[in-house]
Chains A and B, each alone.
Chain A
């Protein structure tokens, strides 16, 4: 039982980070119909930026963190939106999908070629001394990851629910035509969403870097998991992505421990395919929006 609780905690901790990536994914989809196949690489770039600013240039942690977020927001948010997405939005979903696949390849192999093909170590952010809670041994890292992820997602939720900009985003997600008629500048909102997404992935990168190490190809797995999380939870709802992220993290951790057979990687996929067949809008998604 204590084993189970420890695994559960580890799963929730990693799942909270997946959820951050998945929420960014969902926001992009909602406001701009962009399926970002480079979402994993959007985590890799800030992770490398953090390594550069913090461990290589030895800047203070807070400065490095702010620089990383700014670089990510400018490059992956504003830059990608202006250089790539603006032109492609008119071309339809498929060219956009292929272009983001191209972007993910470009980022991945540029880092491998021009920076390093090796895994870079990343110092732990929190004390590695375990703490006991009843009979359960928890790592500070796990607790703090969950706490920070909750704070970040909570702040984002407040932004969307309480600010004018947030209302405008909801309006665009619900009905783009109507939002335009109401005088909302949809193009500007798309840009803001891209910047928000890049900020989210930058923060997720800093939390996950000590767990995963920093390597050019970690984005493949991360991107897929964010993807799964978004589909399982519900592609058109932030709460769905949150649920999906946690579910993917927990199922993955538990199945790695308990399913000894060769199909341990398949547990998440079984859920994915089950959801797609039985409730394609996702466990917590809304049907009407994508039925049109």
Chain B
């Protein structure tokens, strides 16, 4: 019985991957674009979930980290560098930026970290918009080429979707691996109780900064895949709003849960399409949904699902969200 369940657990991801791979055959161009965008968001959300959901370090700079990947691919692509190298360079740059931004995380608490990262995102946006010789300024960069392997060029939307799906699968598998390793356990230990983690021999300094940098590197990969999707990027695509959108995605999906980013990414891309009929009211509905969700299910949709099915959370108790140390006298 248990063996069958384990087999099912192993088969499920493969089944989902097959369905996702067959998806483009049935979708018209615009819907395929939305599906491709969902893959980008999924990668972004997985990165942020690692930083915020597992290691408990808030980041409002994921839009900026994403820009590193997107601009690396765009700028290197103009000079004839293959896409994959651009992607790796972008991820490495984002990783380095994550190290730099994560460094203050050693000294400051959540709310200050929110501000540091927020400032960083605005800074990156200003640089992107104004460094015209490199980034094209507010005109952006157009004609970004899609990847090609010799004669095999992922030029059509369907082919590029499948290409992105491959990277997304790689990201999912690697994130799963990281979270299962001692790194993932250290991240969770820091989130639960910094002092205890340190007493148990977890090096806070290294792991906190790494949680930031790895999350940022994923964002870089997401950005690199995003750039050729429309073939055009400009600074406006990587604003603070975008970072806030990622944050909402992760929180609405369910912080610190592996399923969270999947649900969040689908929600954030599909919801606007569903609400499109309401025109401008979409944002009002969206805001109400966010507030209601925080009021009634702060653990996100995954948390709500757990509550409905009354299934204990896998891997032991998962606390609701990043929280301040318990404070008996919190006003209510």
Interface pair A109/B283, CB less than 8 Å apart: yes
- When distances are taken between beta carbons in the complex, the residues of chain B under 8 Å from A40 are none
- The answer to the question of A113 belonging to the interface, with a C-beta cut-off of 8 Å to chain B, is yes
Q: Write out the residue numbers on chain B whose beta carbons fall within 8 Å of the beta carbon of A89.
A: 330-332
In Å, the complex CA distance between A97 and B255 comes to 14
A186 close to B (CB within 8 Å): yes
| A113 CB contacts on chain B under 8 angstroms | 280-281, 284
Q: Nearest chain-A residue to B280 (Cβ)? A: A113
On chain B, the residues within 8 Å of A16 by CB distance are none
Let me know if A165 is at the binding interface, CB within 8 A: no
A222-250 contacts to B, CB under 8 A, are 227, 231, 235
Are B119 and A102 in contact, CB atoms less than 8 angstroms apart? Answer: no
Our pick among A98, A179, A261 for the contact of B247 (Cβ within 8 Å) is A98
Q: Which of B7-15, B30-38, B288-296, B305-313 contacts A (4 or more CB under 8 A)?
A: B288-296
Query: Which of A102, A189, A235 lies in contact with B294, CB distance below 8 A?
Result: A102
Please tell me if the beta carbons of A98 and B294 are within 8 angstroms of each other in the complex.
yes
Q: Is A280 an interface position by the 8 A CB rule?
A: yes
B327 beta carbon closer than 8 Å to chain A? yes
Given contacts A262-B130, A276-B104, A277-B104, contact A93 B291 (CB under 8 A): no
Interface string of A233-274 (1 = CB under 8 A from B): 001000000000000000000000000011101100100110
Does any Cβ of B come within 8 Å of A59's Cβ? no
In the assembled complex, the CB of B123 is this many whole angstroms from the nearest CB of chain A, namely 5
Stretch from B43-51, B66-74, B107-115, B211-219 forming part of the interface with A: B107-115
Interface centre among A32, A87, A95, A106, by most chain B C-beta atoms within 10 angstroms, is A95
Q: State whether B248 touches A98 (Cβ < 8 A).
A: yes
**B111-A269 in contact (CB<8A):** no
Q: Within 8 Å CB of A276, what residues of B?
A: 104, 108, 112, 115-116, 119
Q: Check: B177 CB closer than 8 A to any chain A CB.
A: no
A105 contacts B126, C-beta separation under 8 Å: no
Partner of A186, one of B111, B114, B331: B331
In the complex the two chains form, what is the Cα distance from A186 to B332 in whole Å?
Answer: 8
A286 adjacent to chain B (CB < 8 Å): no
**A-contact 0/1 string along B264-279, CB 8 Å cutoff:** 0000000000000000
Tell me the complex Cα distance, A235–B283, Å.
Answer: 31
Q: Given A35-B111, A90-B332, answer yes or no on A273-B291 (Cβ-Cβ < 8 Å).
A: no
The reply to whether A93 and B284 form a contact with Cβ atoms under 8 Å apart is: no
Identify A105's interface contact among B58, B129, B287, CB under 8 A.
Answer: B287
Q: Which of B115, B287, B324 contacts A93 (CB 8 A)?
A: B324
Collect the chain B residues with CB atoms within 8 Å of residue A90's CB: 330, 332
Task: List chain B residues, Cβ under 8 A from A190.
Answer: 331
Q: Which of A88, A97, A189, A277 contacts B114 (CB 8 A)?
A: A97
Name the CB-closest residue of B to A178: B329
A191 smallest CB distance to B (angstroms):
9
Nearest-CB distance from A165 to chain B (Å)? 15
In angstroms, Cα B126 to Cα A99, docked, is 27
Question: How many A residues have CB within 8 A of the partner chain?
Answer: 52
Minimum C-beta distance from A38 to chain B (A) = 10
- Give the Cβ gap from B190 to chain A, nearest Cβ, in Å: 15
For residue A96, which residues in chain B have a CB less than 8 angstroms away from its CB? 294
A102–B108 touching, CB < 8 Å: no
With both beta carbons as reference points, the residue of chain B lying nearest to A272 in the complex is identified as B119
Q: Which of B292-322 contact A (CB under 8 A)?
A: 294-295, 298, 320-322
B244: Cβ under 8 A from any A Cβ: yes
Identify B298's interface contact among A91, A110, A235, A272, CB under 8 A.
Answer: A91
- Inter-chain CA distance A31–B330, complex, in Å, is 10
Which chain A residue has the least Cβ–Cβ distance from B288? A106
Q: Are A269 and B122 in contact (CB-based, < 8 A)?
A: yes
Most buried by A among B110, B122, B247: B122
Question: In whole angstroms, what is the CA distance A280 to B255 when docked?
Answer: 27
Contact of B323 among A91, A227, A277, A280 (CB under 8 A): A91
Q: Flag whether B139 is at the interface (Cβ < 8 A).
A: no
Q: Which residues of A contact B114 (CB under 8 A)?
A: 35, 97
**If the complex has contacts A86-B332, A90-B332, are A269 and B294 also in contact, measured as CB distance less than 8 A?**
no
A-side contacts of B144, CB under 8 Å: none
A268 to B165, CA, bound (A): 41
Which residues on the A side are within 8 Å of B320 (C-beta)?
A: 91-92, 95
How close is B193's CB to chain A, nearest CB, in angstroms?
Answer: 14
Residues 55-112 of B at the A interface (beta carbon under 8 Å): 58, 104, 107-112
Given known A35-B111, A95-B321, A101-B248, contact A266–B290 (CB-CB < 8 A): no
CB-CB < 8 A to B291: which residues of A? Answer: 84, 99, 102-103, 106
Shortest Cβ-Cβ A-B pairs, 7 listed: A92-B323, A102-B290, A262-B130, A106-B287, A105-B287, A109-B283, A180-B329
List 8 A-B residue pairs with CB atoms under 8 Å apart, sorted by A's residue number: A92-B320, A94-B322, A95-B294, A99-B290, A106-B291, A176-B330, A269-B126, A273-B120
Identify the B interface with A (CB < 8 A): 58, 104, 107-112, 114-116, 118-120, 122-123, 126, 129-130, 244, 247-248, 251, 255, 280-281, 283-284, 286-288, 290-291, 294-295, 298, 320-324, 327-332
Given A99-B291, A235-B111, A280-B104; 4 other pairs, CB 8 A cutoff:
A29-B111, A113-B284, A272-B119, A273-B120
Q: Which of A's residues lie within 8 Å of B, judged by CB?
A: 29, 31-33, 35, 84, 86-99, 101-103, 105-106, 109-110, 112-113, 176-177, 179-180, 186-187, 189-190, 227, 231, 235, 261-263, 265-266, 269, 272-273, 276-277, 280, 290
